[in-house]
Amino acid sequence: MLIESLAGKTSSLSGKYHEISAFQQCEDDDLIGYFGKELLKNGFNSHGNEIMYSGVSGEQLKAEIFIGVVYYQRLRHMVNDKAQARSTGPTDILTKQPVKGRKKHGGIRFGEMERDALLAHGVSFCLKDRLFNSSDYSEGIITI
């Protein structure tokens, strides 16, 4: 992303298009060196750093800050569409486990890594309650 930022800055100054990848060579130089030379030609710092000034007092800040142009696209994921919770609800008749999926009012997947994270935080009783008592708990009748 830093190299993309340098490329975006030089592209906006020169009007050229750059298509880059992290391990690409550019005119017998590495990408950072190439874009650094391009920035120096246009009167900028070769590393993309800028001197910033306070918007309130107008004083120069003591640190140089890396600034560049980067293209990104906003993803339209909404929290209300993703939120899911379940305390009790429908279970599969055969396995007695909770059904999966938001439309069926089911549970979310709880994998091995999630289990390990809860164990590492010392909430093994909560884990047993959630994964056994609230999820798979069933009593069977033994007939002889």
What mean pLDDT is reported for the chain?
80
Q: Which residue has the higher pLDDT, 48 or 86?
A: 48
> What predicted TM-score, i.e. pTM, was given to this entire model?
0.44
**Residue 57 pLDDT exceeds 90:** yes
How many domains does the chain fold into? 2
User: 64 near 51, Cβ under 8 Å?
Assistant: yes
Can you spell out the DSSP letters for 56-96? TT-PEEEEEEE------------HHHH----SS--B-TTT-
**Residue 110 pLDDT exceeds 80:** no
Domain boundary at 15, 36, 66, which? 66
The verdict on 49 and 91 lying in the same domain is: no
Host domain of residue 117 = 86-136
Amino acid at 56: V
Domain boundary at 35, 66, 97, which? 66
Whether 125 is in a domain gets the answer: yes
pLDDT of 32: 79
